[in-house]
Amino acid sequence: MFEIQSQPSYFVVFFTTKYKSMDEVIAKSPETLATHVSRSNELRKKGKLLMAGAFRNESDEPVKTMAVCYSKEDAEEYAKGDPFLLIGKIAEWHIVEWSNIFREQTP
């Protein structure tokens, strides 16, 4: 019989950008991208961010990204301080609580 145990929760930030491709991001906002990556690395080193990245879609949809954080507060900090949000290039964003079926230690 399968025993249901409590699962670790994470908070996932989803961004929909105003860019049509990663090439457009690189061409139009290279400094913002560099700041975004640097900030993400710092938040990861501080134990606030597990992983982050852009979805690789080949369609005409806007570039979408996600970040997995350890707490709701970390997710809000990540989202509200994101360089792309601050320059008005995020069309929409939201945070969703997510349960991981695997047991892993968090910082």
Q: Which two tokens stand for residue 68?
A: 């997995």
Q: How confident is the model at residue 101, as a pLDDT?
A: 80
Classify residue 19: in a domain, yes or no: yes
Cα Dmax for the chain: 55
Q: What is the pLDDT of residue 56?
A: 87
What pTM was estimated for this model as a whole?
0.85
In a domain, 54, yes or no: yes
Number of structural domains (the chain) is 1
Note whether residue 40 is domain-resident: yes
> Residue 80 belongs to what domain range?
9-99
pLDDT < 70 positions in the chain: 1-6, 103-107
Query: How distant, in Å, are the alpha carbons of 19, 78, 83, 88, 89 from that of 29?
Result: 10, 19, 10, 12, 10
